[in-house]
Amino acid sequence: MADELDELIDFLSNGSPQVRGAAADIVRGLTGDSDGLRSLAARADRALPALLRLLASVGAGGAGEAAADSLVNLSQDAELAARLVALGAVAAAMDVMVKRGGEQPKLARSLVMLLVNLTHVESGISALLQVGDEKVQGLYVAKLVRSFCRSSCDSEDEDIFEYIASILVNISKVEAGRRILMEPKRGLLKQIIGQFDSTNQLRKKGVAGTIRNCCFEADTQIQNLLSIAEYLWPALLLPVAGKKIYSEEDTSKMPPELANALSHERESVDDSEIRERALEAIYMIVMQDDGRKAFWSVNGPRILQVGYEDEEDLKVMGAYELIGSLLVGKGEIEQDQEQGEDKPQ
């Protein structure tokens, strides 16, 4: 069996397209079970470069798709993912996606999934961010965001780029990634937030996770966050606003983007993880003085009060309560001080 597998790997580089295609199909099948993955992992020094070459070769057609699928399965192993990054897999995936993704949507989808796995390792994140080269740093990320925002589709089967949501969560876990996403001139975070309206739950959850991660920079980036407040507050507050239709008294104290949505019946966000991520982001924003003032200015405390009344998930309720304790400790004191400035002593 060992000799046969070695021969199969050799066939991936055969001069005949038919032979390469047949070999790639067999390898893809092997990566579908644990025994096959172990056998190929033991020969990673030969298998990985051969699959990458096949992926990048012009005119690979179905063989390229099979190679991509094989790399997706193999890269679920963190050690193999790191080895692929060292072999230039991030650049190869981006190059092929840009050049052939439009003609081969299945290939593009597999390449996005490959990048998800590669950005689970630190070296993969650095490669995708293009850290160390100021001239091109963030270029790959901008291309992915463009594809992500341009391709939103209500049908999950046709949503080629939905897994970019997971890539954005991965890269926003590191400071360098957050800075690229939050750079005002690029406007990437604003574009990403726009995808929160998607009916695709993977997109929605990825956007919520990315916003939440970016809010770890709130202590130094609060003004950048507030500069996109008309997009940010609806993405964070509507999922945790509960189900009730708000009174005119409540909505009169809100900006139109919140007031309009909360004046009508709406679908609730059933995914508790999305609600929790939104609340975690709000907490980090209101920890900052300017963030807290902005939160009061959109009637945020009232929205959380109503949302808390409808909440049933204990973990999410804890996130509401954490914000409440912060507002009681700081926000209400600030409000009283502002209102009391003109009062007689």
Digit-coded pLDDT (tens) for 297-329 = 999 999 999 999 999 999 999 999 999 999 987
Mean residue pLDDT of the chain comes to 91
152-334 placed in CATH 1.10.287? no
Q: Is the pLDDT of residue 333 over 50?
A: no
Phi–psi pair at 137, nearest 5 degrees: -55, 130
- Is 152-334 the same fold as 1-129? yes
Q: Is the pLDDT of residue 165 over 70?
A: yes
Residue 128: per-residue pLDDT: 98
Q: Which whole-number Å values give the CA distances from 283 to 56, 227, 250, in the listed order? A: 45, 18, 21
Q: What is the DSSP letter of 163?
A: T
Q: Is the pLDDT of residue 345 over 60?
A: no
pLDDT band for position 113 (50/70/90)?
A: very high
**How far apart are alpha carbons 299 and 152 in whole angstroms?**
31
For 66-109, how does the pLDDT look when each residue is reduced to its tens digit (9 = 90+)? 999 999 999 999 999 999 999 999 999 999 999 988 888 999 99
The CATH number of 1-129, from 1.10.1740.10, 3.90.79.10, 1.25.10.10, 3.20.20.80, is 1.25.10.10
Q: Is the pLDDT of residue 23 over 70?
A: yes
Residue 58: per-residue pLDDT: 62
Q: Quick one: which H or E segment has residue 227?
A: none
Looking at the chain, the whole-number percentage of residues with pLDDT higher than 90 is 81
SS (H, E, C) 330-342: HHHHHHHHHHHCC
Residue 154: per-residue pLDDT: 46
**Alpha-carbon dihedral 129, 132, 136, 141, rounded to 10 degrees:** 10
Q: What is the pTM of this model?
A: 0.91
Q: Quick one: which H or E segment has residue 224?
A: helix 218-226
Per-domain residue ranges of the chain: 1-129, 152-334
